[in-house]
Chain A
Amino acid sequence: MSSRALDAPDRQDDTASPPVRPPRRNRLRRKENRDGLLMVGPTVVIVVAVVVIPVLWNIVLAFQHLSFLEIRDASPFRPFTLDNFREVLGARGFWASLRTTVVYSIGATLGSIALGLVAALALRDSFRGRGLVRAAMLLPYVAPVVAVTFVWQVLLNPQFGIVNAWGQRYLGWDHPQDFLGTEPNALLTVIAFEIWRYFPFAFMFLIARLQAVPGDVIEAAVVDGATPWQRFRYIILPELASVIALLTVLRLIMTFNKFDDVYLLTGGTAGTEVVAVRVFNYLTGRFDAGSAAAQAVVLSLVMAVFLLIYLKWLARTESEES
């Protein structure tokens, strides 16, 4: 699903068209060009108005003094300053928050892909009721985040949560665990939640790819006496490598930007303040829109660096392969 793969057919079209065209063909092409632009126009207008302009404006805001209360007076023409960046980068909380974000993203990404892989392998061969099991497996991913975070909060509550009640009754805990309110429990719980909610995403992609692995290759390996582990290690895993790489990038980006899961579970307390939540807290708690915007810019930059490293790596491995 890499963008290059998607673009490949376009390139063929371009090279296939002859350089000199008869006039009628030319007119048709011009009409096609006009129709294309017309049809894609609404999308472009909406995306530019509600994404491109806001992103640019956010960058401008990061260089201006602006409190949340004067938001109606905001204009791109206020005086510029570097104060926001000085304040944001100088605050100890920011670096701690960035570290939390990295730990959270990596933990959740690796965990959800690993669990998704286990689930895909377990469900690869068909059995009666597989369709149902498969559908059930995707529930955490499709269910509303507000509802599932609420259920988790109730399950883990120190006073009336069933997890603590069982832990004390059957596992001999001498006192209830505060899963969401103390360090480092809270961060671990938030990561566990993220793994629970997003392993279905990895599962969905991995099982689609797994079912495309030709059966005779695996049968041949069985005949040759390969153990299940060897079949996994030398046949299945290499087939899945490209999907796993794609999933890693997708999940890393999405988790890195994630706001609602952490905000709803802990509000960013007890060592779980990821940057996205911190931006929100600056905006609505401290009413400091300028500094909030500056942090959002830093967050995007960090992500851009990750992405560049990945693209570099991708380009290198592909050129080695060819």
Chain B
Amino acid sequence: MSRHALQERVFGIGRWVVIALLLVVTLFPFLYMVLLSFVPIERLLEDPARLWYPLKDFTTDTYRTVLKPEDEGGQGFTAFIRNSLIVAGLATIITLVVSILGAYAVARLSFFGRRTISALFLSVYLFPVIVLAIPLVILFSKVGLAGSLVGLMLVYVVQTIPISIHMLRNYFRTIPQSVEESAAIDGAGRFQVLTRITLPLAMPSIMSTALFVFMIAWNEFLFALLFLAAKREDWTVSLGLSQLANGVEVPKTVLMAGSVVLTLPIIVLYLAAERWLTEGLTSGADKG
């Protein structure tokens, strides 16, 4: 066989081997998470090497325990879910309103300092988050926002505004300016053009941005830890899981149920909007 044909063969087969391996590596931790979340801890400790359990061993008690309020002997994840939903939901709405205005201005209007502003937004990502943490804890405890969900939400808004302005602006620029101009000639004001013409056209981009912001806020850990660690009733799902995982009191399989509760909403949202999301994030990358 010629060297050429040999290489074609090797690459042809290698490709499928690589795909199979990558699938195992990415999916296994998630499948194992789901499996353990339905198993009593004793079964796992008896034989940790198992990949499957007899059907009679499966239980949903883990989920009941993790979701029940603390005073009923559970772990109170239902309350954590509510906290996470409030914080992530509000952060998403505020970020979107603020960054739609900002992105539209940067994409369409020329105003004093427009270029400086892009640099300012970029700088948010250059600083280690931990640099912001110390002063923010001080600042928020001075104005009484430390230990509050409102303070946490504000931090999430700031952390997500730059990326959402970037995603939205790229999309706004693909909308032909002539569409807006003809509306303006018909007498629509700037605000009307934005709400009646531009926003409906930009809906796919707005949805993917919203999803991305929600994901960041739902998944965030450091600031939740700094602001809320002392008050259990304010914990988010991420914080709750990490705090309980440090201890030994709560069985690991119950916490696996907690992990599923934490991960599932994100995966559902992600699968619903995967296409939009990757396009929104990488737009511009294919232009080299």
Contact = CB atoms under 8 A, between A and B. Distances in A.
Given A33-B111, A204-B281, A227-B4, A57 B259 contact: no
Interface residues of A, number: 107
Nearest to B286: A212
B128 A154 contact: no
Residue with the highest number of chain B CB atoms closer than 10 Å, among A58, A135, A212, A275: A58
A208 B286 contact: yes
A218 to B, nearest CB: 13
Given A257-B129, A307-B126, A13 B110 contact: yes
Interface string B42-83: 001101111100000000000000000000000000000000
B245 interface: yes
A39 B102 contact: yes
A6 B106 CA distance: 11
A288 B58 CA distance: 48
B285 A1 contact: yes
A55 B45 contact: no
Contact of A47 (B121, B136, B221): B121
Interface residues of B, number: 103
Contact of B99 (A14, A43, A122): A43
Contact of A71 (B7, B119, B138): B138
A3 B119 CA distance: 8
Contacts of B29: 140, 148, 151-152, 155
Interface string B14-45: 01001100110111011011001000000011
B271 interface: yes
Q: Is the interface of A mostly helix, strand, loop or mixed?
A: helix
A316 to B, nearest CB: 19
Interface stretch (A18-26, A88-96, A162-170, A180-188): A162-170
B101 interface: yes
B137 A71 contact: yes
B241 A119 contact: no
Contacts of B18: 118-119, 122
A258 to B, nearest CB: 9
Contacts of A253: 125-126
B49 A296 contact: no
B31 to A, nearest CB: 10
Given A118-B18, A159-B45, A253-B125, 13 more contacts: A29-B110, A32-B110, A36-B110, A43-B165, A52-B120, A54-B136, A135-B274, A146-B239, A147-B259, A227-B8, A253-B126, A276-B129, A283-B133
Interface of A: 1, 3, 5-7, 9-10, 13-14, 29, 32-37, 39-40, 42-44, 46-47, 50-55, 57-58, 61, 71-72, 74, 118-119, 121-123, 133, 135-140, 142-148, 150-155, 159-162, 164-166, 169, 196, 200, 204-205, 208-209, 211-212, 225, 227-229, 239, 242-243, 246, 253-254, 256-257, 259-260, 263-264, 275-276, 279-280, 283, 289, 292-293, 296-297, 299-300, 303-304, 307
